Amino acid sequence: MADRRPYRRESEERRREDLIAAALDLVAEGGLHAATVRAIAERAGVTPGLIRHYFTSKEDLTRVAYQRLMERMTTDSAAVLLGGPDDAMARLANFVVASVSPPVADPVAVGLWAAFVHDVRRDAAMREIHTANYLAFRNMLQGLIAALPRPVSDAKLRSDAIACNGVIDGLWLEGSILPEAFALGEIPAIALTSVGAILNIDLVAAYQPDRTLP
């Protein structure tokens, strides 16, 4: 008998995590069609058969990977809130800037996200994942807006959140797809001005960049 490939047993969580990460890496690099079962397995350091041991199908893996991606993007945007200033306007300003700056705004991230858009339209499970994460992000934004010292109706609060989310998403998209079309810091500055204009507050003045770094 020829020598069989040696291997180590790992926990289910670890293996699933590795496979998900490998899948996302490959989609980011080469699009959905580059994330083949064999390529994912190789990237994760296992053999192709193992994928079907942890996921019922490739479609299953795809769904889980998308969920992980969306989680990560929301988390990265929210990270700036931890340890930041307490002032409501400053918190909102920091959140807005973080949402259109790396690592959230990033060419690779956009390509990654776009790869799943069609599946979201077509697959009900994917759409559910998308809706939940989209609303989570928007509600987080709405919470920040609601904390501002200005009285508004619930209806206005909702449309303000949708509008601000729109600017953020749009600028995130354009700045990420065509980074060379904008000057350094131009997109974050425009984001602050626009969101401020929509909410009728001076967000630019409220912005407090992270000073923990030298």
Q: Residue 20 burial by CB count (10 A; 0-12/13-18/19+): exposed, middle or buried? A: buried
Distance CA 72, CA 67 (A): 9
Cis amide linkage into residue 85, ω under 30° from 0 = no
Q: How far is the CB of 198 from its own copies (least distance, A)?
A: 5
Residues 57, 131, 139, 159: which binds DNA (CB under 7 A)? 57
Residues 47, 75, 159, 200: which binds DNA (CB under 7 A)? 47
Q: Tell me the site size for its own copies, rule CB under 8 A.
A: 48
Size of the chain in residues: 214
179 binds, among its own copies, DNA, none (CB under 5 to 8 A by kind): none
Site string for its own copies, 77-116 (x = CB under 8 A): ------------------------------xx-xx--xx-
Q: How far is the CB of 11 from DNA (least distance, A)?
A: 8
Q: Is 61 in the site for its own copies (CB under 8 A)?
A: no
Locate 43 and state its tokens. 């990237």
Nearer to DNA, 33 or 150 (CB): 33
80's CB contacts (< 8 A; 6+ apart) are: 94, 95, 97, 98, 210
Residues 48, 103, 185, 209: which binds DNA (CB under 7 A)? 48
Locate 16 and state its tokens. 């699933």
128 binds, among DNA, its own copies, none (CB under 5 to 8 A by kind): none
Distance CA 109, CA 24 (A): 10
Alpha helices (H) in the chain, listed in sequence order: 12-30, 37-44, 51-54, 58-79, 88-99, 107-122, 124-146, 154-177, 186-199, 203-206
Locate 11 and state its tokens. 């926990």
Q: How far is the CB of 50 from DNA (least distance, A)?
A: 4
Give the interface with its own copies as residue ranges (CB under 8 A): 30-33, 107-108, 110-111, 114-115, 117-122, 127, 130-131, 134-135, 159, 162-163, 165-174, 177-178, 181-182, 186-187, 189-191, 193-194, 197-198, 200
Give the interface with DNA as residue ranges (CB under 7 A): 1-2, 4-10, 12, 15, 35-39, 41, 46-53, 57-59
